[in-house]
Chain A
Amino acid sequence: MLSLTDLHKKYGEVVALDGCTFGVARGEILGFLGPNGAGKTTAMRTIFGLVVPERGQVSWDGEPISADLKRRFGYMPEQRGLYPKMKIHDQLSYLGRLRGMPAKAAAAAANAWLERFGLAERRLDPLEALSHGNQQRVQLAAAMVHDPELLVLDEPFSGLDPIAAETMSDILREQAVAGKAVVFSSHQLDLVEDLCEEVAIINAGAIVVEGNVRRLKDAAPIRHLELEIEGDVGHLLDTLEGIRQVDSDGTRRTVIIDAATDVREFIARAQEVGRLRHFAYTSPSLSDLFREAVR
């Protein structure tokens, strides 16, 4: 279990982390969300000692992160980077050895990952000869070549096409099933909703929402209402209490509303105004939760 506890970090006057606390257990995939500049990358860097917080601890199974422990983790930084002129197989097995694998095991693991990504025939090519998508795959393999117990990925889905994103999701699921703890940050909330049971949302350096996605949705003080009607919707909505937010897409309105509001009467009124074409009242989506949390 990875735990980040009460982390504080300032860059000059800028507060990057302000009491950030969250955790991820083995076998779990945690989606780490937050607007730009909320402190996601800083928090992830503290796990590897790349950023040293002024206050707070990072621990793995209750132990502080030592140099040896770090080698059992895998990290894919937001800023991708490997050696452009080094052969991809050499590159992966080098990183395996740096993390303490014997040379043979590292070479075998490098081959296995290249095979998995369909890059076996290009193992002797320098990284720079590969397409952007393939370079991303090598970068992911670089984080996993030593079979880490914890995988920390900063924006792993950014720049991936839908097929590549699907492969990435599959791999993360696989890793979790194999008992690894997985944390990744993302802005693609639908993807996170699909992939993660657990999320943590950070805003201004502190975690504002954390927990199981299903339970968070059910417990949320808001509901998601979709409505499409022939007639004067504007007037109709004025009669509804507890509206937090309204978006319109053509004739369809999407409304975030207090969970306490009773909508049954509203449906009756709506039917009086005009023909009700579409009506949906559901728990909020992850993106509703997110917007609510960071507002």
Chain B
Amino acid sequence: MSPLGTVWEIARREIRERGRSKAFLATTVITLLIVVGLIVLPNVLGGDTSEYTVASVGEGNEAIVDAAELLGNATDEPEDEPSVSISIDPVEERDAAETALDEGDVDAILVNGEEVVVVSVGGFGDSPLLGLLQRGAASVELEAVVAESGQVAADVIDVMTSDPLETTTLTGPEAGDESRGAIAYAGLMLLYLAVLIYGTWILSGVTEEKSNRVVEVLLSSIKPWQLLAGKILGIGALGLSQFAGTIAVAIIAVQVTGAAELPSLNAAAVLNLLLWFILGFLLFAVMFGAAGSLVSRMEDANNVAFPMSMIAVAGFFVSLEALREPDGLAAIIGTFIPFTAPFVVPVRAALDSIPLWQYLAAIVITVGTIISLVFVAGRIYAGALLRYGGRVKVREAWRSVSE
């Protein structure tokens, strides 16, 4: 069998055995449920009407509440449920109304159309009711001012909530920047997640083979680099299809529910993201694989994953900086460091702020690093796989293979 045929055989076993495992099926289903839930639920819940009750003490409150309700529903489409519904609860005494407010029976108190009483919630979750009542009161006053010219409150509110200026949006680099940034940011998050999730899979997959000692049987027939490459390709392919499936389901859910507007993508942008996604994933996968060979027990796997996770976190932060200032020093330095390039370069490219030569240089550096890492990792892997007990030091593993 050809050397690559062996790699494929190993990759295929990973895909088949792992793909059939309960753990894989369970995480896939749970992830999909969470993603769909996060997208669909707010949409379902968001359709409901916000209901408020206002205690009315004294005179002159009804007009304010009516105006507030109109304002709250001003942007609704005619067929929608109203967004806001405010009911009035007349109360004789202010003290009684305050008791009701304390107990949560009413959401606010209006006193003689001149004062509004609300409960402080410590700065969090201030309800929009206060704003609506203030603006309602303002429009009532405005109505009084314009009463002589015969306008009615509803017309006033119409004018206040309309967009009188016709809007013309120009397409072009300036106008599109926001959605490009969003795409770059999304790509970045996805790479970061994929590296951490599936990198850990590869790491534990390697440690597992070492801990159940099957590795000695395998290595009596095949070469360490074939085993490492097969595991990375197999687990990578399985993990990334789970990942792609989740993203596809998320996109469908978003489109069906209309929860958000998806930015339009062009082929170049997709290719750019995909290229760097694969490069970044391979780079980290090779490192995770080598790290997994250093320990014999699953319990120790987390310790050796730590340095890689830190590198990924660092790459992520440098790329956030690149998103803020794509021509900045951090972005330029990050472009030429192979461990940050997969995070930084796609962001700069998406924002059109990377010279072609830098883009190409980054590809060369990253691909070169991946290839050298395969050999370095392969040797560490070969040297460490048959050493059991505690954690094998990288240097020891390196030295124990003399070729």
Contacts and interface: CB of A to CB of B under 8 A. Distances in A.
Interface string A157-200: 00000000000000000000000000000000000000000000
Contacts of A143: 217
Interface string A64-99: 000100110101110111111110001000110111
A11 B396 CA distance: 10
B216 A77 contact: yes
A226 B226 CA distance: 58
Contact of A95 (B21, B215, B217): B217
Contact of A48 (B3, B220, B400, B403): B220
Contacts of B9: 94, 97-98
Contact of B216 (A50, A52, A85): A50
A224 interface: no
Contacts of A94: 9, 13
Interface residues of B, number: 26
A142 interface: yes
Interface in B1-44: 1, 3, 6, 9-10, 13, 17, 21
A139 to B, nearest CB: 8
A82 B217 contact: yes
A97 B8 CA distance: 11
Contact of B213 (A51, A67, A80): A80
Interface in B376-403: 386, 388, 400-403
Contacts of B1: 71, 97-98, 100
B215 A98 contact: no
B402 A52 contact: yes
A45 interface: yes
B223 A83 contact: no
B17 A81 contact: no
B216 A81 contact: yes
A50 B17 contact: no
Interface string B200-215: 0000000000001111
B220 A81 contact: no
| Majority SS at the chain A contact face | loop
Contacts of A95: 217, 221
- Which bucket holds chain A's interface residue count? 20 to 34
A61 interface: no
B218 interface: yes
Q: Which of A73, A85, A142 has the most CB of B within 10 A?
A: A85
Given A45-B386, A84-B212, A86-B17, A54 B402 contact: yes
Contacts of A81: 212-217
B219 interface: yes
B220 A73 contact: yes
Contacts of B223: 67
B401 to A, nearest CB: 7
A181 B384 CA distance: 30
B222 interface: yes
Given A52-B401, A85-B17, A86-B17, A98 B212 contact: no
Nearest to B218: A98
Contacts of B220: 48, 50, 70, 73, 75, 77
Nearest to A99: B221
Contacts of A48: 219-221
A81 B400 CA distance: 22
A90 to B, nearest CB: 8
Contact of A83 (B17, B221, B401, B402): B17
A13 B221 CA distance: 30
Contacts of B13: 94
B213 A98 contact: no
A98 B10 CA distance: 8
Contacts of A71: 1, 221
Contacts of A73: 220
B212 A50 contact: no
B231 to A, nearest CB: 13
Nearest to B399: A12
Q: Which of B6, B21, B214 has the most CB of A within 10 A?
A: B214
Contacts of A82: 212, 214, 217
Interface string B337-381: 000000000000000000000000000000000000000000000
Nearest to B13: A94
A83 B386 contact: no
A76 B400 CA distance: 22
Nearest to A44: B220
B221 to A, nearest CB: 5
A282 to B, nearest CB: 40
A52 B403 CA distance: 8
Nearest to B214: A81
A208 to B, nearest CB: 26
Nearest to B388: A79
Given A52-B401, A82-B214, A142-B217, A98 B6 contact: yes
A44 to B, nearest CB: 10
A70 B218 CA distance: 11
B213 A77 contact: yes
A195 to B, nearest CB: 23
Given A54-B402, A98-B222, A77 B17 contact: no
A149 to B, nearest CB: 13
B379 to A, nearest CB: 11
Q: Which of B17, B220, B223, B386 has the most CB of A within 10 A?
A: B220
Contacts of B216: 50, 75, 77, 79, 81
B234 to A, nearest CB: 12
Given A67-B3, A97-B1, A143-B217, 6 more contacts: A50-B219, A70-B221, A79-B213, A85-B17, A85-B21, A86-B17
18 contacts: A48-B219, A48-B220, A50-B220, A50-B386, A70-B221, A75-B216, A75-B217, A75-B220, A77-B217, A79-B216, A81-B212, A81-B215, A83-B214, A84-B212, A85-B17, A94-B13, A97-B1, A99-B221
The 7 A-B pairs with the shortest beta carbon distances in the complex, nearest first, are A81-B213, A75-B220, A48-B220, A77-B216, A81-B214, A100-B1, A79-B213
